[in-house]
A and B are shown apart, each in its own frame.
Chain A
Amino acid sequence: MASADKILKALSDSLGNRIIQTRTLQPEKTYIQVQTGAHRDAVKIVLEQDKEAGVSAITGVDLGETIELMYHFRTCGTIITIGAEVPKKDAKIESITDIVPGANFHEREVSDLFGVTFEGHPNPKRLVLPEDWPENVFPLRKEVSVANIPSKIINSEVSKGEKQFSSEERLVNIVLGPQHPALIEPEKFSLKVEGEIVREVEPRIGYVHRGIEKAAESRTYLQDIYLVERICGICNACHAACFCQTVEAIMGVSIPPRARYLRTIILELNRIHSHMLLLGHAGLEIGYETLFHYMWRDREPIMDIVEALTGNRVVASFITIGGVRRDLKEEDLPKIKAELAKLKKRLSFYKSLFESDSTLKMRTRNVGVLSKQDALKLCVVGPVARGSGVNMDVRRDEPYAAYNEIPFNVITYNEGDSWARLMVRLDEIGESINIIQYALDHLPSGPYRVRVPRTVQAGEAIGRVEAPRGELFYYVKSNGTAYPERVKVRTPTFANIPSFVRIAEGGNIADVPASFVSLDPCFSCTDR
């Protein structure tokens, strides 16, 4: 097993004077800025040293004359960042997609939002912005102001391109979305099918792109908590936790123990409700409506607990910079414990159902298989990776909140099919219940928040949280005022998008909705 120090040594040994500067963003998170062009060699060295390393995100930052590109690699329980700068006027850099296939969509996103051309990219099309977006307007560059962007002309006519047959006659185009009953959210997948077999998949995201990263720059840190919670209504607590802990890292604030435990409780409640929602939805997609109704009925008590704890049913607004907003009421404890115990009993029923029911087996076993090699190559995260036997979990690898004090297991399955991904989530619900029960029993006393100043000193930090769908990544840069300079969010589903293509290709068209749902897509997260 490689260690982060070994990788850093290998980088400095072989790149030598091509390294411009090295700095430590926060403990154990190193940033190495290299000359443009040397970034490909640096990426190769990281991957040679750690075969399981993957790209977490590619962040662009507008520095005025230049655009800084940061390639964040997750390896050995930390993040190593390789940086390169390109001039704004002639923003070009070589693509790393041929080395790391998982970087494909990250590069397309940076290209859309910052106008950086990635030379040698296999598919440099628009990804996030709409097709009729004005040319040469790159919204995340600082000089672009929202008021100067031309307004849109609405045109509801059917475009000619969508009904055409493919140029190769044996393949027929089938478009899934943007409005499709299997995807609650609008996103488009163009499938090319030969008979019943899917041959090619072209995802087109960006239907829910709201420009949150730009909006975060014009709001204060406190207002940004409300904004990032609304990136995704399902895993809102994870977004708030990740943003707050990143800002706390810049400030150097440590939060009281009670707040760390309360954060853990809300994060795990979030995970339970998200996983149950997905398992029910999966039941609906495979034609097993009873499972959907059972799951959602058993999910309601969890929503009640969230409401009792935070005052809100869905968007918790519970976590804030410096701790949490409310304390747990002692009189709620017995009810919470009783409901969790009840749910735990129901879980054993669901587990036997998933293991023995023939409908579930037929629709999910050996369907949508993602091998471990592919999972590593495509840099997928969360239950998708764990269902393919990749043992990764930010809660264990880089503990935050109170996870370093609470015992829990990381669930992995080796099959890599839809069934394994659903089983990972089912077992994780059990683990989450154990974590909450432990946290409730060992809840420290004392204050639940510390007051923090409104302005944040200049600095930058990286935060990671294990959201229900996998590793959630935040990069925040502060310029010493009450407004952040840059907020970068890389959500778990964005990292998992390449796996959609892989699992659908070669499969039956009727299996596409069910296997997509087993990846637990959240497109509002993906697009931001």
Chain B
Amino acid sequence: MKWARLKSPWVLHFNSGACNACDIEVVALLTPRYDAERFGILLEPSPRHADILLTTGVVTRQCADRLKRIYEQMPEPKFVVAIGACACSGGVFEGNYNVIGGVDKVIPVDVYIPGCPPKPEAIIDGVVKLLKSIEGGKQSGKR
């Protein structure tokens, strides 16, 4: 099981209020130049099949419930990667009236990838670091 998870982590992408910049870089990961599939990473449309949740953007008031629900629908063990300054801390939108803040205000986060937006290389690096720590026995939801 662990071997399979390490060799082919299925990822789900959810945008909880991003400006699209991080999102297009996440999609760029799958395309020929960056080709994240060489690590077995597969983008998965359903939370029920996913191992890793890639989140982008601040959490808006309207998305917070949905983000929580998607996280709860994912099977254990599950890991969360916060991509971009907004997902890490709220970024430029921190303190706005419709914004709750970074993703870790709502669900536990395992890897933070800063940048506005981070380059695709940085995102790959973050996910690979997560895989390494899973290999070392990392449990979901714990630092």
Contact = CB atoms under 8 A, between A and B. Distances in A.
Interface of A: 129-133, 139, 144, 146, 149, 152, 154-158, 178-181, 184-186, 206-212, 214-215, 226-227, 230-234, 236, 277, 280-281, 292-293, 296-297, 300, 313-315, 522, 524
Contacts of B116: 230, 315
B134 interface: no
Contact of A230 (B13, B92, B95, B98): B92
A208 B32 contact: no
Given A233-B19, A313-B119, A139 B98 contact: yes
Given A146-B96, A152-B100, A209-B62, A296 B20 contact: no
Given A155-B65, A234-B20, 7 more contacts: A152-B61, A179-B70, A180-B45, A214-B96, A226-B92, A233-B24, A524-B18
Interface residues of B, number: 46
A146 B91 CA distance: 17
Contact of B23 (A206, A230, A233): A233
Given A179-B70, A293-B31, A129 B98 contact: yes
B16 A186 contact: yes
Nearest to A149: B97
A189 B41 CA distance: 29
B124 interface: no
B22 interface: yes
Interface string B1-42: 000000000000111111111111101100111000000000
Interface of B: 13-25, 27-28, 31-33, 45, 47, 57-58, 60-66, 68-70, 72, 91-93, 95-100, 106, 116-117, 119
Interface centre among B19, B28, B100 (most CB of A within 10 A): B19
A233 B98 CA distance: 19
A181 B45 contact: yes
Given A184-B23, A297-B31, A208 B68 contact: no
A156 B98 contact: no
Contact of A314 (B24, B47, B58, B106): B24
B32 to A, nearest CB: 4
What 3 pairs across the A-B complex have the smallest Cβ distances?
Answer: A233-B21, A181-B45, A296-B31
Nearest to A178: B66
A132 B33 CA distance: 43
Given A184-B15, A185-B15, A227-B92, A524 B20 contact: yes
Contacts of A232: 19-20
Nearest to B43: A181
B63 to A, nearest CB: 5
Given A179-B14, A230-B21, A210 B68 contact: no
A211 B66 contact: no
Given A179-B66, A315-B21, A524-B19, A212 B97 contact: no
18 contacts: A144-B97, A146-B97, A149-B97, A154-B106, A156-B65, A156-B66, A184-B23, A208-B17, A208-B18, A210-B93, A233-B19, A233-B21, A236-B21, A277-B27, A293-B31, A296-B31, A296-B32, A315-B116
